[in-house]
Chain A
Amino acid sequence: MEMIKKGAEAEIYITEWKGRKIVIKRRIKKGYRIKELDEKIREQRTKKEALLMMSARKAGMSVPIIYDLHINNKEIFMQYIDGERIKDVIDGMEEEMQRKICEEIGKSIASLHKNGIIHGDITTSNMIWMNDRLYFIDFGLGMKSRENEDRGVDLHLLMEAFKAAHKNKNLFKWVFEAYKKNFEESKEVIKKVDEIARRGRYMRGVA
């Protein structure tokens, strides 16, 4: 198994499994937490992430297919998405292609929100472009919610991520437009985004 990423709470491995190249996301033990608390948190989060990914898939989104769950090891076995991170490629693209991808992003977030799913960490690092399709990965901070507040926080995070990482100011405008077009309740959500942006708490410069 080859570790490709080590985050604050999980390790990501690439490996072969039943003849397929797959990704394993393993939530690691934390020695600072007492055992009862540590087990519970890692188990709950592993289950929740898998459930969210499955609901996103049902809603018609492209997310990695889940092959297996190993609850004892707090592991999710999932499809390896062999594509490019949007964060790395979008700046170098022709404007027409950028627009196409941004519209796809807006449309996808609209269908997530429509189906009561909050991604929790929508940045361009968590989107992969493969075979002309936009994949969302890492639902580790996600939740089920139909609150406009939560939807607003989700969109606001993406706005901050675009501001911090991408030069073309039109990118986010296109995302917003597609979101509005594809989601009847978007007006209320956009209002929330404005409100959230004005709260000092979110003056964070980085996303």
Chain B
Amino acid sequence: MIKARVTVTLKNGVLDPQGKAIEGALGSLGFEGVDQVRQGKVFDLELESADPKNAEKQIADMCEKLLANTVIEDYAVELL
């Protein structure tokens, strides 16, 4: 079995109102010096495959087809 973590983040240049709101909330809690917060998503996957190369390819395909919207998001795959 292969475990993997997919991280999906907004592309540079795409506004992130939720990140902005979190940034504001951190400021109101007294955390100083937070220049920027960007919110993203994390997916933890468990695959039957035993072949890491194959798994990476399969996960990239999943990202392109469903897990990320590549119009606005980037993704990164990490095998754990």
Chains A and B come from one and the same complex: no
Listed in ascending order, the chain B residues whose CB lies under 8 Å from chain A are: none
